[in-house]
Each structure stands twice: as C-alpha cells, then as structure tokens.
C-alpha cells in the first residue's frame, strides 16, 4: 500500500488538464521507501515517505 506509516501521506486524486482544457482523471502517488528503522528500540522495516526520511522523523537502523 502506498502510504507513509508516520504522516499517513498516500495517493491523491485529481484531474489532468490538457492544453485544450479537457479533463481526465489521474493520481499522484507519494514517494514511499521501504527502510529499516529503529522503532521502540528494535529494528523494523517500515514504509515511509522521503520527506519523513529527509526531515529526521525516522532514525535508520545501521
């Protein structure tokens, strides 16, 4: 599932608008990474977005 486990960022729906102003539906997917992180003292594989990883909300397990 394309959803961040920390900020719950997921798939967003909207319209793609062409130059002639036609609308077709499209989706935006979050940039999800599977990362080994330290969760409550032990390492666990979690699905997080790149923004949470970059901002330091998650500490990576080494």
pLDDT score of 4 more than 80: yes
Around Cβ 2, how many Cβ atoms within 10 Å?
13
Residue 46 predicted with pLDDT over 90: yes
**Domain edges within the chain:** 12-55
What is 19-44 written as a DSSP string? Answer: TT--EEEEEE---EEEEEEEETTEEE
Average pLDDT, the chain: 93
pLDDT band at 39 (very low <50, low <70, confident <90, very high): confident
């Amino acid at each position: 599932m394309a959803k961040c486990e920390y900020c719950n960022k997921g798939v967003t729906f909207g319209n793609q608008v062409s130059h002639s102003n036609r609308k077709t539906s499209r989706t935006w997917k979050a940039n999800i990474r599977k990362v080994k992180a330290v969760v409550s003292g032990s390492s666990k594989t979690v699905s997080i977005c790149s923004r949470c990883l970059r901002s330091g909300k998650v500490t990576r397990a080494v």
